Structure 1
């Protein structure tokens, strides 16, 4: 599985498609009739008040939230069924939007020019120049599945996906350039450390660096034991962390040539990293939120349900805003352990 959360949409879609004939067969056997007869005499009138009340909420339990980004004035959160939530940065007051055709959105980023860009699983990039109020889509010209995007310091858009594919656009999606590392691996992340240094990471422990803003890529280094990289975070051309299954976090100080396993207090998959100044955090499944202590990782109590956390950002108040499964979107005061 390439990314447990981002690929869940595709898996669910395939399940429902394949279930059609099976469900029809069950009906012809009379199973549906048996069930309906067993309920005769005990059926209560439906109470739809709770359903209607839920529909009136800006954030709902059925929302599967996938990404957060913020410019100078606005927070944008994206998720399932074309969901876009916007809020003023200085106060959490959400407005709900839905994109045309309800695409499954898997990521969102903000560019230096304050515009937003989002990625949907149907191979489209979505652009907003008005702080998330309206969006325009651009089709990505590739047959590959796409999982992650970022906006570079020069406002160019970068997207990565299957068969180690990298696409970039310098004109807000009007045209795209596609390249590949010719590795049969799903890329799950791309990060600009600075204007010229870029890392891509993904399946089978693949890590590759560009020193010329993505124009060329170093021969990929492979993390041992086919490590599946859900998330990567680099602070320089040499220092970085990767997170994967079973709560594993690895550290490199030589640009990915060698890796050291760091101790974590969880066995839940790690889905992302977030840095604030010198502080580094990791987050993942089962409401996992960790703080780096300088040598290993300490757990932060999120007081949450056992849902996945997909993204984190810091609010002006200093609190963290966390987003994830089952409509999880909440603010949390953080007292991180001091570290490097």
Structure 2
């Protein structure tokens, strides 16, 4: 099995290395072990399942749930020990997680239990998943892998189009506010679909490095982040007028979340960049929280992590990050 050398979705999606072929033992998925400190292990993605629950996934098939805005976490059983790279929910009950070994897991009870819907030990890593409705979904990943489902993720088929033919890593996908789909990936790859993923059109982009994260921006636009801090926004993706965001940072961006009327960009060196509505950016100063409160005597920023892979912004303005030190909750200093 070939696997990209990742961090946001394994260690670093900046380059790729070959791996050994799958053995017979690897061909059968093994369930994840329940770990005493799973919340402190490598976690790669976090999302909401409805209004009350948070779900995080990561190394060794770990899946964690929180029902108190990230103050406390509990690990639930996972049918695989493969690295999980992304998780997405359609509503409070129905969600999917994807990862290495072409893994697709599905839950219909808010993340309490998960079932394997696709697994191939010789397959490529899946790095992102999105469902357009209760039946139609896409999973994408390394070396141009693009799978589609028309039955709620019960079965999956490989798509064939311009993206799969090129064989580049497909790293992230977003549905823009005008309904178009946007995929970003390796070597400045951006591609849009106006027919909900039936066909794709490559777009021009002013940067040739890898892009790892994308979110909708405005009615027709997007904001993207990538290697060495290169981040851009565009008011109309169809027009293609991408504007560089001067972040003042060379830390690769792996996660983007809406924050007030702007965005927060998370990445290497435990950095979080705040981007205002006018496009100005600054590094956010963070205060570590434990159980929702600052630890006693923690007067200064306390960051043990070396990289953030993803983040969420809570309603009170606090942040939750996942990365190589697990899941962490932060207050943003003025």
Give 1:289 deviation, angstroms.
0.5
Equivalent position of 1:189 in the other structure = 172
* In 1: Cα distance, 2:226 partner to 2:212 partner: 5
Equivalent residue for 2:332, pick from 326, 331, 334: 334
Could you say which structure has the higher helix fraction?
A: 1
Asked whether the equivalents of residues 113 and 155 of structure 1 are also in contact (C-alpha less than 8 Å), the reply is no
Give 1:287 deviation, angstroms.
0.8
* In 1: Cα distance, 2:322 partner to 2:88 partner: 14
Equivalent position of 1:269 in the other structure = 252
* In 1: Cα distance, 2:133 partner to 2:73 partner: 28
State yes or no: 1:299 paired with 2:283.
yes
Asked whether the equivalents of residues 5 and 17 of structure 2 are also in contact (C-alpha less than 8 Å), the reply is no
Q: Which runs of 5+ in 2 are unaligned?
A: 23-34, 287-300
Give the number of aligned pairs. Answer: 294
Equivalent residue for 1:125, pick from 99, 104, 114: 104
Asked whether the equivalents of residues 195 and 213 of structure 1 are also in contact (C-alpha less than 8 Å), the reply is no
Equivalent position of 2:233 in the other structure = 251
Give 1:172 deviation, angstroms.
2.6
Equivalent residue for 1:170, pick from 146, 150, 161: 150
Give 1:143 deviation, angstroms.
4.3
- Closer/same/farther in 2, CA of residues 291 and 149 from structure 1, 3 Å limit: same
Give 1:64 deviation, angstroms.
0.3
Equivalent residue for 2:214, pick from 232, 236, 240: 232
State yes or no: 1:64 paired with 2:42.
yes
Structure 1 stretch 282-291 or stretch 182-191: which is displaced more? 182-191
Matches within 5 A, 1:1-340: 3-8=6-11, 14=19, 56-57=36-37, 59-60=39-40, 63-71=41-49, 72-89=51-68, 92-112=71-91, 114-139=93-118, 143-154=123-134, 156-179=136-159, 180-181=161-162, 182-194=165-177, 196-218=179-201, 220-235=202-217, 238-255=220-237, 257-293=240-276, 294-302=278-286, 303=301, 304-327=303-326, 329-334=327-332
Q: Any idea what SS the aligned residue of 2:166 has?
A: coil
Write the deviation string for residues 192-248 of structure 1: whole angstroms up to 9, x where unpaired.
124731111111211111112112222x01323522112222325742222122211
* In 1: Cα distance, 2:314 partner to 2:68 partner: 7
Give 1:82 deviation, angstroms.
1.2
- Larger-gyration structure (1/2): 1
Asked whether the equivalents of residues 196 and 214 of structure 1 are also in contact (C-alpha less than 8 Å), the reply is no
Asked whether the equivalents of residues 136 and 149 of structure 2 are also in contact (C-alpha less than 8 Å), the reply is yes
Structure 1 stretch 209-218 or stretch 191-200: which is displaced more? 191-200
Structure 1 stretch 154-163 or stretch 97-106: which is displaced more? 154-163
Structure 1 stretch 87-96 or stretch 106-115: which is displaced more? 87-96
* In 1: Cα distance, 2:78 partner to 2:251 partner: 32
- Closer/same/farther in 2, CA of residues 108 and 322 from structure 1, 3 Å limit: same
Give 1:13 deviation, angstroms.
9.8
Could you say which structure has the higher strand fraction?
A: 2
Q: Any idea what SS the aligned residue of 1:274 has?
A: strand
For the aligned residues, what is the CA RMSD?
A: 2.9
Asked whether the equivalents of residues 234 and 240 of structure 1 are also in contact (C-alpha less than 8 Å), the reply is yes
TM-score, length of structure 1 as denominator length: 0.76
Q: Any idea what SS the aligned residue of 1:222 has?
A: coil
